[in-house]
Amino acid sequence: KNEVEQSPQNLTAQEGEFITINCSYSVGISALHWLQQHPGGGIVSLFMLSSGKKKHGRLIATINIQEKHSSLHITASHPRDSAVYICAVRAQKLVFGQGTRLTINP
């Protein structure tokens, strides 16, 4: 069993829909990252959080340390949000989930 599990693995939605991507982990962590990876391969850090909730534009990330669970939400989704979203937790080192491939259709 992977230390970091994401769900769903693939998600297709229509423009404007509210999106939720989930991440569960099984190790003790000091922080959790949500990352965005576009087809070219480069990774952009969206959030780094260790408690509570953070919001940036249409993106919201929450974490529940007791339940070892985090969610990434996208409000009013847009085709440009199409990407792979990766959850990574910092334990002794950064451990990555397998990613969620999000496709937003116009």
Partner 1 sequence: EAGVAQSPRYKIIEKRQSVAFWCNPISGHATLYWYQQILGQGPKLLIQFQNNGVVDDSQLPKDRFSAERLKGVDSTLKIQPAKLEDSAVYLCASRRGNSYNEQFFGPGTRLTVL
| Residues in touch with partner 1 (CB under 8 A) | 4, 30-31, 33, 35, 40-45, 48, 86, 88, 90, 93-94, 96-99
Instruction: Tell me the closest approach of the beta carbon of residue 83 to partner 1, in angstroms.
Output: 13
Instruction: Tell me the closest approach of the beta carbon of residue 66 to partner 1, in angstroms.
Output: 21
Nearer to partner 1, 66 or 92 (CB): 92
User: CB–CB of 6/16 below 8 Å?
Assistant: no
Tokens of 7: 């769900």
Instruction: Tell me the closest approach of the beta carbon of residue 89 to partner 1, in angstroms.
Output: 11
Kindly report the three-state secondary structure assignment for every residue of 18-74.
CEEEEEEECCCCCEEEEEEECCCCCEEEEEEECCEEEEECCEEEEEECCCCEEEEEE
Smallest CA-to-CA distance from 10 within 60, 89, 82 is with: 82
Nearer to partner 1, 43 or 65 (CB): 43
Nearer to partner 1, 17 or 68 (CB): 68
